[in-house]
Structure 1
Amino acid sequence: MYLRLTDEQKMIKETISKFVKNELIPFENDVLKNEREGKPGISPENLKELQLKARDFGFWGIDTPEEYGGANMGNMMMAIVRMEVAKTFVPFKFGGSADNILYYANEEQKIKYLIPAINGDKKSCFAITEPDAGSDTRNIKMTAVKEGNEWVLNGEKSFITGGNEADFVMVIAITDKEAHRATGRDGVTCFIVDRVMGWKSEYIDTMGEWGPAGLVFDNVRVPEDNILGEINRGYELGLEWIGAQRWSVGAKAVGMAERLLQMAIDYSKERKTFGQPIADRQAIQWQIADSAVEIEAAKWLVLNATFTLDHGEDNRHLAAMAKLYGANMGNRVVDRVLQIHGGMGYTRELPIERWYREARLWRIYDGTDEIQRMIISRNLLKGNVKVGQFV
């Protein structure tokens, strides 16, 4: 076993870190101001400019296969990159990428959807969650009924990331009611549906700055050519899409927590009570120590999950652990850092309260804490994973 980054990986990490520090963090005050005025944190023009700057650094299509002009860094390096980018709350993502399941598109669909998504000419989103169907996919109600060479979609989706901005959605709908009723997994199909085909989105207001959408499909007609993958096999695509997000939550939590912990360390050295820096107080020291240990533990859970995936092995158990522990670690750390900052941490003068609201979401989306615990315990109880084995 070799638990160290290679020289190339170190160079990538350091370059990303410089980009975040020099190009993204300077936008933070503007982002806070915009969000408090109900505006997007960063304008499309500024985002595009930042993506082009990142391209000059060599970061374009970092998770995109080389055949599509990408760098294909692999999942473990993507985790390291996301840890670094998560050290700022500036809403930024690198250009030149597309949703992982969009690569299952046929050649015609790749020309119409995949390539424009990679080039940044079209925006996509994925929709499986419904008002009464989150983790329990048996409760999916949205239907697709075939009429001639078209499918007619009816139903609603909720809490869809990017749904308000997307040009097209990859949406899961029931195409075989009997099969779906029997298993809760079968009988659903993934459709690529352009916004111009008739679906509508509406903003869902949340306690954080995440701006999900509710999508409404009212007799939306979709050509049969717009089926993504195989008919009645959409659930598998959904699992793959969600699976790619779970370890990512842990990576985001690590990056955010590292930035916050450094803020706490710096502040504890400056802030004095009764003539001494609060850094000299054991109560503060223990909170800093506990946070550092938990961050390191979450980091290695994420890296192990992504390393396993890069080697073609099943990482679902590890991804569930990374998501569960990482999300909860992030919530504990931001709470400690706010406590260390006292009243100042609770104000909007500092970004801690913003991160506090954002971190709470991580324990819910892409599989709640309860779902991750169910996955982990089920694997152990069924013997799919043995206690003490390297997985």
Structure 2
Amino acid sequence: MDLRLNEEQRMVQQTIRRFVEKELMPLENEVLRNELNGKPSLSEEKTNELQKKAKQMGFWGINTPEEYGGANLGQMMLALLTMETSKTFVPFKFGGSADNILYRANETQKKQYLLPTINGDKKSCFAMTEPGAGSDTQNIKMTAVKDGDEWVLNGEKTFITGGNDADFVMVIAVTDKEAHEAKGRHGVTCFIVDRSMGWTSQYIHTMGEWGPASLFFENVRVPEENILGDLHRGYDLGLEWIGFARWIVGARAVGASERLLNMAIDYANDRTTFGKPIATRQAIQWQIADSAVELEAARWLVLNAAYTLDLGEDNRHLASIAKLYGATKGNDIIDRVLQIHGGMGYTRELPIERWYREARLWRIYDGTDEIQRLIISRNLLKGHVKLGAHI
């Protein structure tokens, strides 16, 4: 068992770290000013410029199969890259990728949706959450009724990431009411729906800079050929999408927490009270020690979830563990960092308060803390997973 990065992984990690330090971190003050003035964090022109630079470095389609022009570096590498890019709050995503479930498309759908998304010509989003179906994903109410060769969609989705800018949505709707009411996982289907087909979106203001959308469907007609995957089996696709996203949240928490903890260490050594650096105070030392232990534990939980996926094994249990621990401990670490900085940490002169607001979301989206605990305990109590089985 090798618990160290190999030469290739370390080289890629260091390259991305330099990219983040050279290209992204210098933009942080600009991003803060834009957000304070109600403007987009980065202009589309700047985002395209950054993606172009990343592509020139070979970082395009990190996990996109090579047949589609991607690098296909694997989930472990994606985890490492996410940790590095999360050390800054400058919003940046490597181009050349698409949602994991979009690869389930048939050949016609791939030409119309998958390839344009990978090439950056179209933007997508995924919609499952509803006002009454957040953590309770089986309580979906949005309907799709067959009418000739089309399906007529009615309902609302909410808190949809990317919903304000998407050209099309992969949306989950009830197609067999009786089967759905009898067993919530059954009787729902995933549809690919172009914005031009009639759905609308509305921006949702949040305490952080995340700006999700509500999507509204009123008699939106979708052709039969736009069903993604199998009829009445859309719930499985939804779980597949959510499962992939969970451990990524943990990776984001690790990256941000590492950057912030380093800020706290530097500040503790520089800040003097009563004639001594606060780094000499036990109250500060223990906060830093606890944060360092939690950070390392979260890092390995995330890497284990990613490594298990690379092996082709089911990582859903590990993904929930990584998400739960990473999100909760990331929040704890950021809270301590703010406390160590005192009043300055609470001001907008430093980016800590901005991270503090963003981090609180980690414990909610892609499955709340409570849902992760439910999943983990249920897997163990029902014998679906044995302790130590993933070593």
TM-score using structure 1 length:
0.99
Amino acid at match of 1:131: P
After superposition, residues 220-231 of structure 1 pair within 5 angstroms as 220-231=220-231
Taking the TM superposition and a 5 Å limit, the aligned residue runs for 1:342-357 are 342-357=342-357
Within a 5 Å distance, the mapping from 1:113-192 to structure 2 comes to 113-192=113-192
Aligned to 1:39: 39
| Alignment correspondent of 1:21 | 21
Identity %: 75
What letter is aligned with 1:338?
Answer: L
User: Is 1:278 paired with 2:278?
Assistant: yes
Mapped to 1, the partners of 2:317 and 2:220 lie a distance apart of 37
CA distance in structure 2 between the partners assigned to 1:367 and 1:276 by the alignment: 44
Provide the rounded CA distance (Å) in 2 between the counterparts of 1:135 and 1:278: 42
Write out per-residue CA displacement over residues 27-84 of structure 1, whole angstroms, 9 at most, x where no aligned residue.
Answer: 1001111111111101111000000000111100111001000001111110000000
The corresponding residue for 1:269 is 269
Give the partner amino acid of 1:311. L
How many Å separate the matches in 2 of 1:90 and 1:100?
24
CA distance, structure 2, for counterparts of residue 39 and residue 178 of structure 1: 46
Please say if 1:196 is aligned against 2:202. no
Structure 1 contact 180–187 (Cα < 8 Å) conserved: yes
How do 1:1-391 residues align onto structure 2 when only pairs under 5 Å count?
Answer: 1-390=1-390
Contact 1:162–1:212 (CA<8 Å) still a contact in 2?
yes
In structure 2, the gaps of 5 or more residues are none
Report the alpha carbon displacement of residue 183 of structure 1 after superposing the two structures with TM: 1.1
Q: What letter corresponds to residue 381 of structure 1 in structure 2? A: L
Letter in 2 for 1:45: E
The residue type equivalent to 1:10 in the other structure is: R
Contact 1:127–1:160 (CA under 8 A) maintained in structure 2: yes
1:53 and 1:312 map into 2 onto residues whose CA distance is 32
Partner SS for 1:181? helix
Structure 1: 5+ residue stretches without partners: none
Residue 64 of structure 2 aligns with an amino acid whose one-letter code is: T
**3-state DSSP class of the match of 2:141?**
coil
**Aligned mates of 1:380, 1:242 — CA distance in 2:** 20
- Corresponding letter in the other structure for 1:149: D
1:231 is paired with a residue whose SS is coil
Equivalent position SS for 1:236: helix
How far apart are the structure 2 equivalents of 1:263 and 1:377? Answer: 36
Q: 1:227-247 deviations in whole A, cap 9, x for unaligned?
A: 001110100110110011000
Deviation at 1:390, TM superposition (A): 3.4
Deviation at 1:388, TM superposition (A): 3.9
User: Structure 2: how far apart are the matches of 1:367 and 1:149?
Assistant: 35
Output one character per residue of 1:103-127: Cα deviation in whole Å (capped at 9) or x when no partner.
0111111111001000000000000
SS at match of 2:363: coil
Preserved contact between residue 249 and residue 326 of structure 1 (Cα < 8 Å): yes
Distance 1:192 1:384 in 2: 33
1:264 and 1:138 mapped to 2: Cα distance? 43
Take 2:11 and 2:307, find their aligned partners in 1: how far apart are those partners? 19
Match of 1:362, SS state, is: helix
Give the aligned residue type for 1:354. Answer: R
Paired residues of 1:146 and 1:152 also in contact (CA < 8 A): yes
Question: What TM-score comes out, normalization by structure 2 length?
Answer: 0.99
Q: Whole-Å Cα distance in 1 between the matches of residues 378 and 358 of structure 2? A: 29
1:82-107 per-position Cα deviation (integer Å, ceiling 9, x unaligned) = 00000000010001011110001111
| 1: CA distance, partners of 2:77 / 2:98 | 17
Partner Cα distance (1:133, 1:266) in 2:
44
Contact 1:138–1:181 (CA under 8 A) maintained in structure 2:
no
Find the aligned partners of 1:232 and 1:39 in 2 and give their Cα distance: 41
Displacement of 1:387: 2.9
Instruction: Choose 21-30 or 136-145, whichever is displaced more.
Output: 136-145
Report the 3-state secondary structure (helix = DSSP H, G, I; strand = E; otherwise coil) of the residue aligned with 1:138: helix
Which letter does structure 2 place at the counterpart of 1:366? D
In the alignment, the residues of structure 1 paired with residue 226 and residue 314 of structure 2 have an alpha-carbon distance, to the nearest angstrom, of: 29
The 1-side partners of 2:179 and 2:5 are apart by: 47
- Alpha-carbon RMSD across the aligned residues, in angstroms, is 0.7
Distance in structure 2 (CA, Å) of the matches to 1:390 and 1:211? 37
AA partner of residue 170 (structure 1) = M
Equivalents in 1 of 2:217, 2:9: separation in Å? 45
For 1:136 and 1:283, the matched residues in 2 are separated by: 41
Q: CA deviation at 1:137?
A: 2.1
